Amino acid sequence: MKKEILLIPFFGWAISRLKPISINRKLKVESLKKVVEIGGERIREGYAVLVFPEGTRKKPEEGIGKFGNSCGLLASNEAVPIIPICHNSGKYWINKSFKKKSGDINVVIGKPISGSDPKKLTEEARSWIENTYLEIS
């Protein structure tokens, strides 16, 4: 998660107790290395690691954005599957606003995706999420 979130009074402090992998998104290479290194340690310790590969929220009408490689790299390095998750909450939880709309949020959990090629893993996860998003939005 972006390190700035940890600075939010109360919320950020509470999140910090979960020991997230905080990154500086301006330092892309260093952040990727940090996610792969610390994420790998956490996986070997038996934790599940949640990765938001799109990086930042977009407007729902813009569709699914480009994915970073951290999820594919982490999964291939640690020989663990990616379990893709798709939701349509952006339709109701407006980006950069505290406003919320009423409606039903759909969450779909896909089948595990395994492999040894990080780019292929990332693209397969992205493709599944993109297709699923079109179905539920």
Band of pLDDT at residue 129, cut at 50, 70 and 90:
very high
Helix axes 70-78, 28-44, angle to 10 degrees: 40
| 91-119 average pLDDT score | 92
Question: Span 68-89, mean pLDDT?
Answer: 95
pTM of the predicted structure, to 2 decimals: 0.85
**Domain boundaries along the sequence of the chain:** 24-136
